[in-house]
Structure 1
Amino acid sequence: MWNWITENVTAVQAMVSLLSTVVWIVYLNLFLSSYQRQKRSSILISRAGSNQMGAHCIVSNMGSEPAFLVDVLAEITTDERVITASVADRLESWDEGASPSTTVSAEGPIESGGYTDIGTFEQLFDRVCRQSEIENCAHRISHVNLIAIAATNQARELVAAHRSFEVNRSEGRAPRLHPVQVEAIQIRSRHKRKKLTAILKQMQDYQAIEGSVMGELGHPRHHRLVFWRRGAGRQAIGT
């Protein structure tokens, strides 16, 4: 054996060098994967309290760096249509004359491991109905999909997550909320994040959307959403 190694020392050295290179490449990939997981943003959307309409909606930042909550969209489904509107602004607080620096909006920074209270689900539904100017729509909602959007230092584009809740309206009982997913689903696709950014830009001028934002994000083909502008009716705009 030793004679064979001595006679083929060049080949043995090449094999050892190749094996060492493979080991280092595997180690480097494991290190990079672990580092990317640690730096990857993670947004959670949860229901706090009871499973009734008075339960609070909590958005948490579980990433390793602080995140700025840009907006929260609520896509509600009624018997007649699908409506999406921003629910980050606490419209009911404006009516109460609250200080603008404290409680009128959920937008703002969230530290790593921190959270912000968006409001009760009843308040979220009322905000959507108020902006879409549809009377008593809160009592006809059967499903809500919440989309939390944030900006972080580690991502060039906005990061987002979504989670759905079913509204069970049994006769003789108060409406109950049941989450569809175990946890929030992270929106990591660059195409979907750019699409969501385009929708947010449109919503700077329009207060509500008729149509499914999640359907828009889930299907690359062209859709037309209907946007509400206060006092100017509705306008169909392709995103």
Structure 2
Amino acid sequence: MEWLSEHSKAITAITSILTLFVWFFYAQILYRNFARTRRPRIIINRGHGNDLTSLCLISNMSSEPIFLEHIIVTLHTSKGSLTNDMIDFEADHRQDRSDSEDSSSEHGKDQGGNCRHEQDREGMRSSQGPMLPGSFSHVGSFEAILRRLCNVHEVALEHDRPKDDTVFQFLDIRVVAIYGSEDHPIGAERRFRLHMNDDEACTLVPVSLDTKRYANRLQRWRVRQWIRHLDG
């Protein structure tokens, strides 16, 4: 007892320091749990198969809604890279030629003697818009994405393969979105390896086990560089 009385001040100081460390430890746990729930989480995956006919799925596993702004697709080939934004794309609704001929025969000919054909109607499809927490959406099959990308860059395909000696290597899917009420965009990226088989089939193999997330300050700067590259 005498020893405790003599060293009471030192014991009190040590106890206070240990209590401070305990509170600091619990504060770190609470902060990490809060930061984890606030951290945006977008997953890019394939669905219904492992070839080009599989769907490109985008899931929002964040705690708040996101707004999809861009879906940037990059095809890496043996002769360079092809990039385009696939969030919006044109869909041509062309009538069959026989229907057009029947229509022209019914309406007759104009004064110049030429048959009048109905004009092609062009529509737009878009994947842009909000996604609720826990929801997912698909932007079409990888086959359709590959064909649209090659069509934009005027790459001729035959059975989903280039007609020349170009070799398809990787397909990158990048998502740019706005998370909740934040001002700066976030990003997600996943790369798929293209295995061209001898039987004209193509297998998609994810290079990484998970989707790469771009959420901190430096990574968001890179996301803005993606957008500037599209605008440029």
Please classify the TM superposition score into its range, dividing by the shorter chain length.
Answer: 0.7 to 0.9
> What is the match of residue 179 of structure 1?
206
1:119 corresponds to 2:119: no
Q: How far, CA to CA, are the matches of 2:219 and 2:28 in structure 1?
A: 27
> How far apart are residue 90 of structure 1 and its match?
3.8
Q: How far, CA to CA, are the matches of 1:98 and 1:30 in structure 2?
A: 55
1:195 corresponds to 2:222: yes
Paired letter, 1:139: R
Structure 1 residues 133 and 190: alpha-carbon distance in aligned structure 2, compared to 1, 3 A threshold: farther
Alignment of 1:13-28 (within 5 A): 13-28=12-27
Which one of 92, 95, 98 corresponds to residue 95 of structure 1?
Answer: 92
Give the conservation status (yes or no) of the 8 Å contact 2:46–2:57.
Answer: yes
Q: How far, CA to CA, are the matches of 1:193 and 1:83 in structure 2?
A: 23
Paired letter, 2:226: I
Paired letter, 1:20: T
User: Secondary structure at the residue paired with 2:87?
Assistant: coil
Alignment of 1:29-178 (within 5 A): 29-91=28-90, 94-96=91-93, 104-136=125-157, 139-140=161-162, 141-153=168-180, 155-178=182-205
Q: How far, CA to CA, are the matches of 2:4 and 2:48 in structure 1?
A: 71
Q: How far, CA to CA, are the matches of 1:189 and 1:73 in structure 2?
A: 20
> How far apart are residue 180 of structure 1 and its match?
1.3
> Gapped runs of 5+ residues in structure 1?
207-239
Q: How far, CA to CA, are the matches of 1:99 and 1:5 in structure 2?
A: 86
User: Secondary structure at the residue paired with 1:19?
Assistant: helix
> How far apart are residue 98 of structure 1 and its match?
8.2
Q: Deviations over 1:42-75 (max 9, x none)?
A: 1100100111211110010101111111111111
> How far apart are residue 186 of structure 1 and its match?
1.0
User: Secondary structure at the residue paired with 2:188?
Assistant: strand
Q: How far, CA to CA, are the matches of 1:126 and 1:27 in structure 2?
A: 53
Q: 1 or 2, which has the higher strand percentage? A: 2
> How far apart are residue 154 of structure 1 and its match?
6.0
> Gapped runs of 5+ residues in structure 2?
94-120, 163-167
Q: How far, CA to CA, are the matches of 2:80 and 2:191 in structure 1?
A: 17
Instruction: Count residues with an aligned counterpart.
Output: 199
Give the conservation status (yes or no) of the 8 Å contact 1:90–1:106.
Answer: no
Q: How far, CA to CA, are the matches of 1:21 and 1:34 in structure 2?
A: 20
Give the conservation status (yes or no) of the 8 Å contact 1:39–1:154.
Answer: no
* Higher-RCO chain (CA-CA 8 Å, sequence separation at least 6): 2
Q: How far, CA to CA, are the matches of 2:69 and 2:146 in structure 1?
A: 19
Q: How far, CA to CA, are the matches of 2:44 and 2:122 in structure 1?
A: 25
Paired letter, 1:50: G
Greater shift, 39-48 or 176-185, is seen at 176-185
Greater shift, 38-47 or 146-155, is seen at 146-155
Structure 1 residues 10 and 172: alpha-carbon distance in aligned structure 2, compared to 1, 3 A threshold: same
Paired letter, 1:167: L
> How far apart are residue 139 of structure 1 and its match?
1.7
